[in-house]
Homo-oligomer: A and B are copies of this chain.
């Protein structure tokens, strides 16, 4: 960790009475920082505000958040980095009832850019097929809230580094997303990503890729895919705000693809031009 601010001041400890700890009563965003600026900021904030609305959290002062975030990002001295923004309901209220006069806690944590091998973008990644299923909770689906035990359980299923990411499914076995990324498939030149209205996290990079596809004239739709169908699609890739686009070359030991496929490659190029993730994240040597 490079630096942490809590409620606008350098600090790294919070009250053990914070509801973020007690109940996971809060939200977070993981944001790529390029050239000193948090990327795709408006969409991160939009998702955060949607989370506040659904959890009935008082919304943050977004101007203040931007001001603090950009000030903190100066610590990177121009390097790329990761800004994690955590926003909880704050302390107070014994029991589950949200206190009336709550003062949320905002935590900004800045860390160095993760070291991933360039092969993840250039040759693709292999997906572990997780057994942990995502429970269906429409009231929380899509949000990046702090209740993430399912992801912890799913990620704990493997430790062999041959698997860069894991695929998680809904209770019926339908593929939903990666443990910390969203899932895309390409079928006959069409881009498909599963719906996230019953479980899963609606990634900001997923939204960005849908928009890039639209600009490139690649037809894109939100549609459920069964696991057997996923195994037959032309291309698969995973996305998140830091990784950008990771082509998938294998799903467990059973299915392989030539990665990156042509549509994935076009989207990777468009994302590189957009500049919202650092160059190396797009596989540049």
User: Chain B residue with minimal CB distance to A4?
Assistant: B16
Q: Which residues of B contact A140 (CB under 8 A)?
A: 149-150, 153
Known: A12-B15, A14-B13, A139-B132. Contact between A21 and B146, CB under 8 A?
yes
Among A4, A114, A140, chain B packs the most CB atoms within 10 A around the CB of A140
C-alpha gap A94/B180 in the complex (Å): 12
Which listed residue, B11, B16, B137, B148, touches A23 by the CB 8 Å rule? B148
Within 8 A of B (CB), among A85-102: 86, 88-89, 94-98
A156 beta carbon closer than 8 Å to chain B: yes
Kindly supply a per-residue 1/0 record for chain A positions 153-192, scoring 1 wherever the CB is within 8 Å of any chain B CB and 0 otherwise.
1111001000000000001000000011000000000000
Q: How many copies does the complex hold?
A: 2
List of B residues within 8 angstroms of A277 by Cβ: none
Most-contacted residue by chain B among A13, A15, A109, A179 (CB, 10 A): A13
- Interface centre among A12, A19, A55, A149, by most chain B C-beta atoms within 10 angstroms, is A149
Residue of B nearest to A12 (CB): B16
The answer to the question of A35 belonging to the interface, with a C-beta cut-off of 8 Å to chain B, is no
Task: Report how far A156 CA is from B97 CA in the complex, Å.
Answer: 6
Given the complex of chains A and B, what is the CA–CA distance between A239 and B23 in angstroms? Answer: 21
Asked if residues A136 and B135 are in contact (CB atoms below 8 Å), the reply is yes
- What's the least CB distance linking A147 to chain B, in Å? 4
Contact of A96 among B11, B147, B154 (CB under 8 A): B154
Would you list which residues of chain A between 198 and 233 have a CB under 8 Å from chain B? Answer: none
* Contact (Cβ within 8 A) B55 A96: no
Q: Which of A86, A97, A132 has the most CB of B within 10 A?
A: A97
Chain B residues closer than 8 Å to A275, beta-carbon distance? none
Question: Once the chains bind, are A145 and B149 in contact (CB under 8 Å)?
Answer: yes
A107 at the interface (CB under 8 A from B): yes
Asked if A111 and B96 sit within 8 Å, CB to CB, the answer is: no
- Asked whether A1 is an interface residue with its Cβ less than 8 Å from the other chain, the reply is yes
- Say whether A18 faces chain B, with CB atoms less than 8 Å apart: yes
- Given A4-B16, A16-B86, A55-B152: 4 more A-B contacts, CB < 8 Å: A22-B28, A23-B146, A147-B147, A147-B149
List 12 A-B pairs, Cβ < 8 Å: A1-B17, A13-B14, A16-B107, A21-B88, A22-B28, A23-B151, A24-B146, A25-B148, A89-B152, A96-B179, A133-B139, A140-B150
A residues bordering B, Cβ < 8 Å? Answer: 1, 4, 6, 11-25, 28, 55-56, 86, 88-89, 94-98, 107, 109, 111, 114, 132-133, 135-137, 139-140, 145-156, 159, 171, 179-180
